[in-house]
Structure 1
Amino acid sequence: MAYIEYLVREYRGVVEREIEWLEQKSSLRNALLGALAESGRHRVDTEHGTAIRTNRVNLMPRRESVLAMLKAEDLYPFARFWPKQVQHVLVPKYGRDPLLELFDARTSPLLVVKAPDGREIG
């Protein structure tokens, strides 16, 4: 029983440190994004790694436009919608340009940090 108690205590300690690290990581990520934006730079290379500020684009389908364009046989593959389905099912059938009109694009800041050897970290 003492061993299990020890394991639970150690596990809780690790989880608490992990939460602190995640909060610290989030704070550093926000500070890095802010510093890159303030400096007007999109990329900084240092001896400790590389920080790259870019945007992530999320496509949000416009329900009415999508439903107006699709035919009955198109709806079944969309019972579960994944972005790859657009690429593999609809783009070959309708082409890319008509499909772009069906989506609202939302951008959000994305930070990529790379180790000196080029590996992405965090």
Structure 2
Amino acid sequence: MEMPKLKVKKFRGSRTCGGGSHKKRRGAGHRGGRGNAGVHKHKYLKFIKLEKLGLYEFGKHGFTRPKVVVEELVREKNLKERLKSLRDEGKLDENTYRFLYSKAELNVGDLSSIVEKLVELGIAE
């Protein structure tokens, strides 16, 4: 397979290689800044055209959920499922189950320690 032809080959021999005046090629001023500079100012029309084509995205979108929150929810779900299974097996009476399951202010760590304590006492397994 052939390598693609480079544009620089075409520009060889011309003094400025397609960069306009030789004085302009010094900094980023000739291209209007680097990167996304000026997309809401002097490069706005270019930004609008590219955005309509789906080729340009500017700004932040959405958020990333903190991993800790997701982990705690999963742990809480697992513990509540464990409580249900203990109740279904008859190893946890209905009142204790309702009390533990409906504790909204109960931390996940507290719930796991309570289940462990119930296992130690022999109320749950």
Fold match (TM-score > 0.5): no
Q: Which has the higher contact order (CA 8 A, sep 6+)?
A: 1
- Higher-Rg structure is 2
TM-score of the two chains, using structure 2 as the length reference: 0.27
Compare the two structures and name the one with the higher strand fraction: 1
TM-score of the two chains, using structure 1 as the length reference: 0.28
